[in-house]
Amino acid sequence: MARTNKSGIDYFPFDVDFFQDEKVQFVSARFGTKGEAIIVRLLCKIYRNGYYVEFDDDTALLFAKSVGDGCQDSFVKDVVYELLKRGFFDKSIFERFSILTSRGIQNRYFEAVKRYKTVEVISEYLLVNVEEMNNVNIIEINVNINSINVDINSQKKRERKEKEIENEKKIKPQKGESDYEVLDELSFENVWLMYQRKGNKKSSQRRWDGLPKKAKLLAVEHIPRYVEATPDEKYRKNFETYINQEAWNDKIITKNGTANGITNTANSQAMGNGYSGNGANTFRTDAERRRNERQMLTQMATAVLQQPET
């Protein structure tokens, strides 16, 4: 979109009770002072741009680099998703347009630009009423030469979807074959529901679709137990973080303190023949699983006791 007039502002009001806001305190509790710093940096970026900022994987990566001090893009995204969850940013606008904004941000912005000659705003992004402001030029996303042509994008998406459906029909196995059932089990929508929709759906699907089948099988086995072990969502990774960290390889500590999770090939050999050997690496029975876990823990304890004292 062409911008002939300045949209951002050089200063913005900062409430002295900012860090007493419960929404901010949740971030402070989970992510510490680095999380607080990310909030302030995000606000600076938003007001420098205007009243919103686009946020995706690339934005998170570059933003993490600007924070420095070893900050990872996954950490930035976790902070943002916590802010969305708590209502600091408007979640519905983010899910529709992948932008960060809020009613409070927009109120402060439009108060600050009252003396601007002209301010261009996108109607679909607005959360406040600006009809009485004489210097505001409201633009709709799919209208006029300066707009984003949503109709063209929608048509491309429809064509791509139709092609995917046609390809699916070509490769669908005959009735009774198990491959199709496995493919359906590994579909993103199925896994997204299993994970209880925590995280950003768009970026999560992009990461999931890029995984090899073997990794998907491991994740599908691991996710139900991981979700059960983290009933409080705030302690559960966002799904894209779960994928990035290949968390299906992590052991799950259950309520009784037992390590219960998917192990790699080396661990499965150390534990005996408890694995069934199929693609999903599932145990044959619960009894076998418990027996092999006890055996593994015994081996680990023995190894620790045999280490020379320092």
Q: What angle do CA 261, 264, 267 make, to 5 degrees?
A: 90
Query: Model pTM greater than 0.75?
Result: no
Residue 115 reports pLDDT greater than 80: yes
- pLDDT in the model for residue 90: 95
More confident residue, 161 or 209: 209
Supply the pLDDT for residue 67. Answer: 83
What distance lies between CA 92 and its chain's CA centroid? 15
pLDDT score recorded for residue 101: 95
Rounded to whole angstroms, the Cα distance separating 77 from 89 reads 13
Average per-residue pLDDT for the chain: 76
Sign, Cα dihedral of 273, 279, 284, 288:
positive
In the block, residue with structure tokens 């007493």: 20
Distance CA 232, CA 228 (A): 9
Tell me, letter by letter, the H, E, C secondary structure of 120-152: EEEHHHCCCCCCCCCCEEEECCCCCCCCCCHHH
pLDDT at 155: 55
Q: Give the pLDDT band (50/70/90) at residue 305.
A: low
Contact 103, 3 (CB under 8 A): no
What is the pLDDT, as a whole number, of residue 289? Answer: 64
Q: What is the pLDDT of residue 29?
A: 94
Identity (one letter) of the amino acid at 32? G
- Non-local CB neighbours of 158 within 8 Å, separated by 6+ positions: none
Q: What is the percentage of the chain residues whose pLDDT exceeds 70?
A: 66
Question: How sure is the predictor about 5, in pLDDT bands with cuts at 50, 70 and 90?
Answer: low
- % of the chain beyond a pLDDT of 90: 26
